[in-house]
Structure 1
């Protein structure tokens, strides 16, 4: 199995159990080793009292893209720390894209940077996730 095929197999296995991302209307647009592009449209239920997207939903999109990127090597990984900086508001109807790229890894630790953009490609938020590999694999028969 090539690294790209492994990333796709891992994404399918994770997606089958990921009720949170699916429940928020997220979709995987692209998966590759250490990378994931995920999209989500801002719905009425996601808008806060200021009439803009609630930051928690933007965080959830970035966190999901991060999770798929750092699990694409068939080593189960979980978040150990995340930060996000919001740069501009997202609005009702916006289709956001979170592009996650693993930028570093050593041993069981990894760093993945995620940029969330709006439909015009403008940055909405920047997220950094620190991951930690745990026991197990997503695709057992590939080992």
Structure 2
């Protein structure tokens, strides 16, 4: 990771607590405010009935990169919307790398693009909209996100 130890504190803490991403073997390769690169090797349990990577796992990888990038400013942020375009399939053993880049940040909102690659080949494009949420030390991000969705 290129950021110093104090930069992106919230994103790093989030990742350490993210048992889903870590259980899938997702690793952070680079992290700075508004930018993140993560990787994952497609495992046996990630392959669907067609013998290709289940799209949900590609989405999780892209979503993790998005989460790290939008939380890199140390202001809690959650996804307000996300979509993905699958360009080609991947297979068991492929190493996928997702790079998230901030496109805009205004008020409590952000727009991020994530490109998922296998080697030099683009396999998916993801776009996510983020929304910062208030959080006190005593409550978690999930509690804050519920209040945002209800307003």
Same fold (TM over 0.5): yes
Q: CA deviation at 1:70?
A: 0.1
For structure 1, which runs of at least 5 residues remain unmatched after alignment? 139-143
Alignment size in residue pairs: 135
Q: Identify the residue that residue 136 of structure 1 maps to in structure 2.
A: 135
Q: CA deviation at 1:135?
A: 0.5
Any conservation in 1 of the 2:10–2:75 contact (CA below 8 Å)? no
Any conservation in 2 of the 1:52–1:92 contact (CA below 8 Å)? yes
Supply the distance in 2 between the matched residues of 1:8 and 1:137 (Cα, whole angstroms).
Answer: 18
Give the TM-score taking structure 2 as reference length: 0.84
Supply the distance in 2 between the matched residues of 1:10 and 1:90 (Cα, whole angstroms).
Answer: 31
Supply the distance in 2 between the matched residues of 1:6 and 1:70 (Cα, whole angstroms).
Answer: 16
For structure 2, which runs of at least 5 residues remain unmatched after alignment? 138-151
The DSSP-based 3-state class of the residue aligned with 1:65 is helix
In the TM superposition, structure 1's runs of 4+ consecutive aligned residues that sit over 3 Å from their partners are: 3-8
1:3-47, Cα deviation, whole Å (9 max, x unpaired): 855434233211221111101110000001100000000001100
Q: Identify the residue that residue 141 of structure 1 maps to in structure 2.
A: none
1:52-67 aligned at under 5 Å gives the runs 52-67=52-67
Larger RCO, structures 1/2 (Cα 8 Å, 6+ apart): 1
Give the TM-score taking structure 1 as reference length: 0.89
Supply the distance in 1 between the matched residues of 2:6 and 2:90 (Cα, whole angstroms).
Answer: 33
Any conservation in 2 of the 1:100–1:114 contact (CA below 8 Å)? yes
Range that drifts further, 16-25 or 69-78: 16-25
Any conservation in 1 of the 2:10–2:72 contact (CA below 8 Å)? yes
